Amino acid sequence: MSFPILTALILVPAFGALVVACLKKSRPELVKLTAVLTSAVTAGMSIWLLASFKTGEAGYQFTSQHEWVEAWGISWHLGIDGISLFLVVLTGLLFPIVIIGIDPHHDEKPYLAWMLLLQAGVMGSFLSLDLFLFFVFFEIVLVPMYFLIGGWGYDNRIFAATKFFIYTMFGSAFMLVGIIATALLAKNDVGHFTFDLVQIAEHADFAASTGRWLFFAFAIAFAVKVPLFPLHTWLPDAHTQAPTAGSVVLAGVMLKLGTYGFLRFGLYLFPEAANWSKPLFFTLATIGIIYGAIAATMQRDLKRLVAYSSVAHLGFIVLGTFALTSQAMTGSVLQMINHGVSTGALFLLVGMIYERRHTRLISELKGLQKVAPIFAAAFTIVMLSSIGVPGLNGFVGEFLILIGSFETARWWTVVAATGVILAALYLLWAYQRVFHGEPDEVNSDFAELKPREGGILLIFIAAIVFTGLYPKPMIDRIEPSIKSLITHVEERSDYKAPADDSANKHHMSEGEHE
Amino acid sequence: MLDHIWLIPALPLAGFLLILLFGRRLGEPKAGYLAAAACGSAFVVTALVWLDMLSKDAEERTKYLVMFKWIPVGSLHIDAALLADPLSITMALFITGIGTLIHLYAIGYMHGDPKFSKFFLYLNLFAFSMLMLVMGENLLVTFLGWEGVGACSYFLISFWHTRESAATAGKKAFVTNRVGDWGVMMAMFLAFSAVGTLSYSGINHAAENGGISTVTATAIALMLFIGACGKSAQLPLYIWLPDAMEGPTPVSALIHAATMVTSGVFLMTRMGPVLHASYEWAPTIIATIGAATALFAATIAVAQTDIKKVLAYSTVSQLGFMFLAIGSGAYVAAIFHMVTHAFFKALLFLGSGSVIHGMHHEQDMRRMGALRKLMPITAGTFIIGWLAIAGVPPFAGFFSKDEILLYVFANNRALYVVGMVTALLTAYYMTRQVIMVFFGEAKWKDAHEEHGAHGDFVPHESPKIMLFPLVVLAFLSITGGLLQLPFSKDLHFLEHWLEPVVHHSEADIKGTWAYDNKYLLLLAAIVVAAIGIAISVAVYAKGKAKPIEPKVLADGWYYDRAISGFMGGPGRKAFEGVAMFDATVVDGAVIGTAKGVGGISSVLRKVQSGFVRTYAAVIGIGAIVLLAWFILRGVI
């Protein structure tokens, strides 16, 4: 039996959290060392995973399945495919970066323990192929995030943490009911009582109305997590009040639990219901894109601005998910990563501004480009990525989503695409107010980027540029799983993908090049 | 040589990367020379490619070069690929050629600027993006360049970013262009949906062979035109270009006159077959908007007092002429005018830059005058540029403008009249500018006190490195007409050269009244130019009549003001309304529900201290117990 790499990806950070929690508070360097080592090992493993992932295969790889609670049909079933691969890698890499790069300022020991537990939870969520297991991890994630916001956040942190917790718990409650009902109702089709995702998805044949009820039970939980309009208002509060590391992780990987959930559980388990309800999701996603962007424009607090921009960006991802074409869905998965990278970097940058000026209010900042040109340059590149300028990562995902959605959600796409105008508006306007102009007295000694900060941002910028110019390695790994998911939906609903009927058309044009 | 076309964009890219890494160490003027060398070597390569093409038969002058697969998903195959053909090489020749001259000029102009090397960093990035735009094999590579030049334009307009107006102008340019970019994206989606590819050859081939329905072709063409309206500053999206004059003058010359703003014309030419396959009213819309913009901007130009604003509105107006040509099926004439315009408008902008430089950053023409003696070379070359744009034979602008008007006459006589009126206004306002700046009384003598310090303020001629480009461009503005002389078929060099690209979509005007009487039209154009110049001389040099410069024209028909008024007023209020709605209604419902559930207003506080913490702890402990159980069962 080969090394259970996926299990290790969950247990190493979990174990690290435990060790950190048990260490003495009086040995801070040991605490830090443990956390750094643990997350570095996890990062190493996720890179190894990326390297040994078989490109071009649609199915789950590195699976590991063990009976857990036999009587209830719960198993420790883990697997990874093109949809989850890069999310796992991002989770593996993002945590060491924030653990090394961001200083929590106080109570480092519990902070690091929570961070590592959070990583374990997120990893578990992305790797679980068992409904019950998924639910456990999905819920675990809330706990460390709650304490991170509540313990290391800003002025209004307790309110924000509570709101975040209750809001997501509310969604999860529906999902828990949904999960149990799904397992119960699938029993006859599958042949035995099980929570196994693959078995249920491949064998269960829900009546249309049943499937729709179950789908919506899951969908509410995911919609809150994404967050989808109008269930998004926990996000600006949580983001604004969370410590920088919390915001980076929240935007970077945690929101993707929602969009990932739609793909992995929503569409896969209930293809008919997902196909049936897609106009609703197109509409909510499109509203989110425009509405989030407009709300972002008027924010006074930089972090709130970025938070609302997330609402808009995630709207694109949901649109692409339900568009059910290979371009749109591949774009959605790609965009989950891209948004994680560029919004993560934006939160880092805003965090650095806060460290220097102890404010996030746009009106308090002015003329920073003059005093800190390198800082401004880094901000500019990340901003352009978020705006979706071609050649940078954000564009590739957005473009694929839109061109793919244009086939199946035409008029929504026409409206959604105007979001790219608004994205330029809110970011450039904020940039102008913060970085342009003559710096006033309080901003005139704004410190330039430090080497450690620069090094961290360089990693993000490298990812932004590389993905923008050469996304093919990612696409090659994502696409097969997406195609197989589309086929799965086609087989189980009356949906027919427009996909490759244009292959012959393309053939005709290819001939031109001879 | 055709195998090495990748060098053309790669050289400015290399320049960009080198300056990015070593720019600060290189400093002034080395960074400038490095950038100029990068652009200049790209010009040499382009010229060699061009010569190589000339030696080949017309059918063999197209070269595709696939560098790598860029975005391949499902049936969508987008390559990072270049296309060299007569059109793209024509564009690349004048982009790199004029680009090099402007790089050299900027070494003098930007002297002493603390961000000297950064300026050339952006300039090389711009050259790279612009070359990708014109050499793209498909719409997406072009779009990469399209947005790239947009970003560079943003950086360079707000180059002096501590100035509030420059920062605002940069943002305005980017956002307005994005409106147009939406159109380009829609065009791409429609094309992919209809043809299954984004490559020009694939789309145009389908369009030429009826592979695209008329409705779709119309939609694609008009969506592209929306993009063109943004990038090439046509009504209703032109508003960013006059403000873009906030950027350093070499930028105005290169980006906002000669190259970037012509991208829309290029794109429409590249996709000509699609426009050709559209409903007949689609080209008419384009021609009408072009003519309207040409006239509209010309009327504004007559009342401007800022030396660069005159040229900016003039550029908008001349771009309108190019779209008038596109809409009339005169693709060759459009490209012809694009090239000659690049010569003389770059010349005029650089000349104005030289004046501004010599006048110590004075841009108000009312404080100039009589500069021809103090700045003889600037004045001489500027006058050549003036003659070229005013449509005086045998200067370049005369032939290209006349070629357009010939096609317009054959196509739509009402638009011809608009074109002629615009031509008259052009001659008028350019003469006005030349007189105000170089002739008459020296008004800067009164103004010197406001300049403060030095009482002995005397405008001075610019350094040689700035004058050399002026002389070269002046030469080109004189001779540019040779590209396409109207006198005999054999002298239509540009037409023969572009024939493989435009043969399908170019309008055929042979046998029309206009074609048979083209010398009459030539004569009419000369007369109109002469009238324009004569009136202007009478008004501004001889003082025989009062200048007509009403406020409504100086203020651009209040169009820009109305838009910014709307954006700052009701638009902003609406946005604020949405933000308020979110805070009070959407979030209010959530908080309200939470409160309602708890039944008391302080539920949140109670909840946070009691329930949530406990619950969180339960989940946390529960999870750990579950994991422990799992580990103890030894299933790993």
Which residues of chain B does A505 touch, with a Cβ-Cβ cutoff of 8 Å?
195-197, 206, 211
**CB-CB: which of B182, B604, B636 is closest to A159?**
B604
Query: Would you tell me how many other CB atoms lie within 10 Å of the CB of residue B102?
Result: 30
**CB-CB: which of B143, B195, B636 is closest to A505?**
B195
Share above pLDDT 90 across residues of chain A, in percent, rounded to a whole number: 76
pLDDT at position B516 = 85
Mean per-residue pLDDT, A236-250: 93
Mean per-residue pLDDT, B547-561: 88
pLDDT in tens, A32-81: 999 999 999 999 999 999 999 999 889 999 999 888 878 788 899 999 99
- For the cut 50, the answer to whether the pLDDT of residue A508 exceeds it is no
Cα separation, B113 vs A268, in Å, equals 60
Which residues of chain B does A7 touch, with a Cβ-Cβ cutoff of 8 Å?
636
- For the cut 80, the answer to whether the pLDDT of residue A513 exceeds it is no
DSSP-assigned letters across all residues of A440-468:
-GGGTTPPPPPHHHHHHHHHHHHHHHHHH
Which residues of chain B does A147 touch, with a Cβ-Cβ cutoff of 8 Å?
616
- For the cut 80, the answer to whether the pLDDT of residue A268 exceeds it is yes
pLDDT at position B491 = 84
- For the cut 90, the answer to whether the pLDDT of residue B515 exceeds it is no
Burial class (CB in 10 A: 0-12, 13-18, 19+), A65: middle
Q: Which residue has the higher pLDDT, B92 or A162?
A: B92
Helices (H) and strands (E) in chain B, counts: 28, 2
Contacts of B292 (CB under 8 A, 6+ apart): B235, B320, B418
pLDDT in tens, A189-230: 888 899 999 999 999 888 888 999 999 999 999 999 999 989
- For the cut 70, the answer to whether the pLDDT of residue A500 exceeds it is no
Of the pLDDT bands very low, low, confident and very high (cuts 50, 70, 90), residue A395 is: very high
Which structure tokens are listed for B128? 């790279």
Residue of B nearest to A503 (CA): B75
- Are A502 and B196 a contacting pair at CB < 8 A? yes
Of the pLDDT bands very low, low, confident and very high (cuts 50, 70, 90), residue A503 is: very low
List the single best residue of B62, B195, B582 to mutate versus A (max A Cβ within 10 A).
B582
pLDDT in tens, B291-339: 999 999 999 999 999 999 999 999 999 999 999 999 999 999 999 999 9
Identity at A73, one-letter amino acid code: G
- Are B158 and A418 a contacting pair at CB < 8 A? no
Mean per-residue pLDDT, A350-358: 93
Locus of tokens 């906030």 = B246
Q: What is the three-class DSSP state of B13?
A: helix
Cα separation, A469 vs B10, in Å, equals 15
pLDDT at position B499 = 86
- For the cut 60, the answer to whether the pLDDT of residue B602 exceeds it is no
Chain A nearest C-alpha distance from B74 (Å):
6
Q: Which residue has the higher pLDDT, B238 or B27?
A: B238
**CB-CB: which of A326, A369, A414 is closest to B74?**
A326
pLDDT at position A191 = 87
pLDDT in tens, A150-184: 889 888 888 888 888 888 888 888 899 899 999 99
pLDDT at position A509 = 42
pLDDT in tens, A434-451: 999 999 989 998 999 999
Q: Which residue has the higher pLDDT, A80 or B609?
A: A80
CA–centroid distance for A472 within its chain:
20
User: ipTM, 2 decimals?
Assistant: 0.92
Mean per-residue pLDDT, B74-80: 92
Residue B365 has φ and ψ, to the nearest 5°, of -65, -20
Cα separation, A433 vs B168, in Å, equals 10
pTM to 2 decimals?
A: 0.93
Share above pLDDT 90 across residues of chain B, in percent, rounded to a whole number: 66
Chain B 144-163, CB below 8 Å of chain A: which residues?
144, 147-148, 150-151, 154, 158, 161-162
Is the N-terminal amide bond of A230 cis, ω within 30° of 0? yes
Rg (CA), chain B: 28
Which residues of chain A does B68 touch, with a Cβ-Cβ cutoff of 8 Å?
470, 472
pLDDT at position B627 = 59
Cα separation, B264 vs B256, in Å, equals 13
Which H or E element spans position B77? strand B76-84
Chain B 605-634, CB below 8 Å of chain A: which residues?
607-608, 612, 615-616, 619-620, 623, 626-627, 630, 633
- Are B575 and A298 a contacting pair at CB < 8 A? yes
pLDDT at position A511 = 40
Q: Which residue has the higher pLDDT, B185 or B601?
A: B185
pLDDT at position B510 = 85
pLDDT at position A506 = 43
Which residues of chain B does A510 touch, with a Cβ-Cβ cutoff of 8 Å?
197, 202
- For the cut 80, the answer to whether the pLDDT of residue A147 exceeds it is yes
Q: Is B140 on the interface with A (CB under 8 A)?
A: yes
Which residues of chain A does B201 touch, with a Cβ-Cβ cutoff of 8 Å?
509, 512-513
Distances (CA, A) of B524 to A7, A509, B299, B419: 84, 46, 21, 12
pLDDT at position A514 = 35
pLDDT at position B636 = 41
Q: What is the three-class DSSP state of B71?
A: strand
How many residues are present in chain A?
A: 514
Which structure tokens are listed for B269? 């030419």
Which structure tokens are listed for B505? 């979509």
Which residues of chain B does A230 touch, with a Cβ-Cβ cutoff of 8 Å?
586, 589
- For the cut 70, the answer to whether the pLDDT of residue B425 exceeds it is yes
pLDDT at position B616 = 65
Cα separation, B298 vs A23, in Å, equals 77
Residue of B nearest to A7 (CA): B636
Cα separation, B159 vs B112, in Å, equals 14
Q: What is the three-class DSSP state of B487?
A: coil
- For the cut 50, the answer to whether the pLDDT of residue B601 exceeds it is no
Are the C-beta atoms of residues A290 and A308 closer than 8 Å to each other?
no
